[in-house]
Amino acid sequence: MDQIAIDPANTQAWFVVRPEARLYSLDLSDPTSVPVAHGAPEPGSETRSLQVIDGKIRGVTGTSEAWTFDPSTESLLPRRDLIPVDQELRDTIPQGVVAFGKRVLVGGHWRYQVHGDPAVQRVRVPGEPKAQIVVGDKLYSALYPSASVYELDSSLTVRKVAALGNGQMRPAAIAYSPGLDKLAVATGPAYGKYGGGLSLVSPAPDSVPQVFTAPVGRHQVSVIEPVGTDLVLGTSTIGEAQPALPGERARVLRWRADGSPGTGTAVWSTTLPVQVAKVNGIHLVDDESGRQLVVAADPATGARGWLFGLDPDTGAVLWQQQVGGPIRSMKGSQGYLAMYLSSTIQQIGVSRSGATLTNIRDFGASIVPSFISLPDAPPTAQRVAYVGAGANGVVGVAEQGTPRVPSRVSGADRYATAVAVSRQSYAHADTVVLARGDDFADALSAGPLAAALDAPILLAQPGGRLTPGTVAEIARLGATEVIPVGGTGAIPESIAAQLPSGAALDPHRPQGANRYETSVAVAKRLEAALGGTPRDAFAATGRDFADAIAAVPAAITKKRAIVLYDDTPAARTARSFLAARSIDALGGPAASAVRAAGLAPQRTIIGSDRFDTAKQIGTTYFGRTTRAYLAPGLDFPDGLAAGVVAGRTGSPLLLARPALLTSPTTSSLRSGRGSQRVTLVGGVGVLEPRLEQTIADLG
């Protein structure tokens, strides 16, 4: 049962029961009454709050929907999605993290929070994702309390693979064995019990699992590392809501699914030589030092953890080494091994005699460590995705090596830079947004629309000309639709003749009589692309570009339009649009204008100059990040393209002078505490090479 509510007359009880999330009522005045089912208001979710108000039953779910049931008509009223109005229910403790393509998914209560994809904020799943693994282009998630496995594809469509059953509840680990072509899933029993099961599942919908109910006796399998057709298992002596088994130590065993039915066979089993209660990581290392299993384990008391080296063929302990704190998680990828140790991420180098640790990222006391995920990446740029417990959870990326050295995306001119940004960020795009490259007036609002359409922004030359590079990029993307922003005076219809074969101009371009009306037309097109519901908006001045450019990443992340507004009769349409929405005013000119118009912004961000405003926008909407983009602060085109990419990666856009990092920009970059990846967007004529050294010297 999730929640229960009693009506004001104390005559009827209402409650929601999982896993179906079904609503029931019970007549309290009749001792012989039985619960009556009324359907599932929000299937596949859990109810966090339930109340009886004005005769109606009102619930709020863990996946951020508000629903209302009317008992008088036995009908469910239209539900409300709380995410678009920034009223999402935050998880108190993240349940796991996984890098899935360009996204990072953080498991929560009956959902995944999605980072790095402005088009999707959460995906509902029928339980808490306790363990997950990416196999090819699929993500497999093991859920609690149903002890079931679900599949998510690249479009984040959710399908059931298998229910494990056999008294299992809480998944502890999942791995994929190429040798068996099976998913191996470790699970725990009901509360108050020791032991647990291990299941082998074919990675396809509607599979029938092979369940081993007690492969390690009263221990629970906590880690799985496939080796050939065998599985190396790490155990935990801790039960479900039970302390560690007295006198027991965690074990590592090489196990295969044959022999005794329901138990399998241990090729070898090694009890770890010190008092540790749980194995938190196993990784097979096969390099110039030879083959060995690196094992991470913790005592039950939260004291300092241990690393071990084991022979994978015999289980013999090759070395053991105590480390400086509890080991929360350890993972390996492409010869790269890292662990979450206390509040740090450590890179591990191993030999036949021990391990050396290199601190990649120190979080201090800011994060309670939880999970770690290592996506595949080139060996020179390994990435570590991490998440910590807290009101919102924390997710980010730490880099191996010297991450302060910035990168640059640029071309010979503004048109070529826009092409370079597109080439780096998009393998394919059905749609391209086309803005004028010599005038910012119509282009400033285009960024959020481009992101919503998964489209890059390319630039047109004066007179409606496209560079050969721009034409070639549209062809490379395979785009069939080109959306010009602004009227035919800015981008004429004749430009259609220059498009590559298969691409055509959108006949319904967003346009208006002036820059303010065009920004409203773009905002309406954005709202239509996001479902047609009026959304919150950012207001920025249309007389300069800097504040609107800096707002693009935040607008993309928050799914808001950028509407240009100034105290001028030309902005009358923009005022009417903003008056019907909750707005944030960005920059001093916009703040003054909206107040003069009698509008009341929910939030106002005013910096001492354009560079400080950009910094404050980043701090307000992104907090501390591990990636930032830097664009010229004195001209707009490079920042226009950069803002879309920054928004897609959940990163702020900062501004710089050609040869100088201003104090606000420097302060923002330093707040990354040495781990921030900085990408300069623009050529050396607008962002001089000395800036790269300045950024590297920030340390």
pLDDT grade, residue 644 (50/70/90)?
very high
Judge whether 166 and 215 are in contact, CB under 8 Å.
Answer: no
Token pair 């009890």 in the structure block, residue: 271
**pLDDT higher than threshold 60 for residue 393:** no
What token pair was written down for 100?
A: 């899935």
**Does the structure show a pLDDT above 80 at 447?**
yes
Are 237 and 221 contacting, i.e. CB atoms less than 8 angstroms apart? no
Q: Which domains does the chain have, with CATH numbers?
A: 3-85 (2.110.10.10), 125-271 (2.130.10.10), 275-401 (2.120.10.30), 407-696 (no CATH)
In angstroms, the CA 289 to CA 262 distance is 37
102 or 385, which is more confident?
A: 102
pLDDT-based confidence at residue 363 (cuts at 50, 70, 90): low
pLDDT for the residue numbered 699: 56
Q: How do residues 538-552 score in pLDDT, each as one tens digit?
A: 999 999 999 999 999
Q: Is residue 417 a contact partner of residue 637, using CB atoms and an 8 Å limit?
A: yes
Question: Could you give the 3-state DSSP secondary structure of residue 626?
Answer: coil
Regarding predicted confidence, which is higher, 358 or 29?
Answer: 29
Question: Average pLDDT of 572-583?
Answer: 96
Residue 629 predicted with pLDDT over 80: yes
For residue 34, give both structure tokens: 């039985």
pLDDT class for 394, splitting at 50, 70, 90?
very low
Task: Please provide the average confidence, as pLDDT, over all residues in the chain.
Answer: 85
Helix H or strand E segment including 15: strand 12-17
pLDDT band at 597 (very low <50, low <70, confident <90, very high): very high
Q: How many CB atoms within 10 Å of residue 261?
A: 8
Q: Is the pLDDT of residue 243 over 70?
A: yes
pLDDT tens, position by position, 295-351: 999 997 767 889 999 999 999 999 999 987 788 778 775 445 667 666 677 778 888
- DSSP letter for 57, please: E
* C-beta of residue 302 within 8 angstroms of C-beta of residue 326: yes
Give the CA distances from residue 120 to residues 59, 326, 688, in Å, rounded to whole numbers and listed in that order: 23, 35, 36
Range with lowest mean pLDDT among 69-78, 165-174, 496-505, 560-569:
165-174
CA distance 122 to 114: 5
**pLDDT given for residue 112 in this prediction:** 86
For 17, the token pair is 């029961």
Confidence label for 287 from pLDDT (cuts 50, 70 and 90)? low
- The SS3 call for residue 692 is helix
pLDDT at 288: 60
State yes or no: pLDDT of 91 exceeds 80.
no
Which residues, 6+ apart, have CB-to-CB distance to 651 below 8 Å? 553, 622, 625, 627, 628, 629
Among 43-47, 59-63, 375-379, 450-454, top mean pLDDT goes to 450-454
Distance CA 148, CA 168 (A): 9
CA-CA-CA-CA torsion sign (167, 169, 172, 175): positive
Query: Hey, what are 407's tokens?
Result: 């990168």
Q: Residue 94: which pLDDT band, with cuts at 50, 70 and 90?
A: low
Question: Shortest CA distance to 233 belongs to which of 252, 219, 249, 215?
Answer: 252
CB-count exposure of residue 454 (10 Å: 0-12, 13-18, 19+): middle
Question: Which pLDDT score, from 0 to 100, does residue 338 have?
Answer: 65
Mean pLDDT value across residues 365-384: 44
Question: For 54-80, what is the mean pLDDT?
Answer: 87
Euclidean distance between CA atoms 418 and 410, whole angstroms: 8
Kindly state the DSSP code that residue 375 receives in the 8-state scheme.
Answer: -
Other C-beta atoms lying within 10 Å of the C-beta of residue 207: 19
Least confident of 520-524, 579-583, 686-690: 686-690
Q: For position 391, what pLDDT does the model report? A: 37
- 696 or 595: which carries more pLDDT confidence? 595
Q: Give percent of the chain above pLDDT 90.
A: 54
Q: Which two tokens stand for residue 95?
A: 């349940």
Helix axes 637-648, 414-425, angle to 10 degrees: 10
pLDDT of residue 672: 54
pLDDT of residue 373: 58
The answer to whether 676 touches 406, Cβ cutoff 8 Å, is no
Average pLDDT over residues 400-404: 41
Residue 158 near residue 120, CB atoms below 8 Å? no
Residue with token string 């359907």: 39
Residue 90's pLDDT band, with cuts at 50, 70 and 90, is: low
User: What's the length of the chain?
Assistant: 699
Residue 38: closest CA among 28, 25, 50, 29 = 25
Q: Please, is 290 exposed, middle or buried when counting C-beta atoms within 10 Å of its C-beta (0-12, 13-18, 19+)?
A: middle
Angle, nearest 10°, between helix axes 610-622 and 663-670?
Answer: 20
Q: How sure is the predictor about 419, in pLDDT bands with cuts at 50, 70 and 90?
A: very high
Cα(4)–Cα(424) distance, integer angstroms: 52
For residue 384, pLDDT over 80 is answered with: no
Q: Which residues are bridge partners to 379 per DSSP?
A: none
What confidence category does residue 392 fall into, taking pLDDT thresholds of 50, 70 and 90?
very low
Range ranked top by mean pLDDT from 20-24, 437-441, 564-568: 564-568
pLDDT of residue 675: 40
> 112, 100 in Cβ contact below 8 A?
no
- What is the pLDDT confidence band of residue 388, given thresholds at 50, 70 and 90? very low
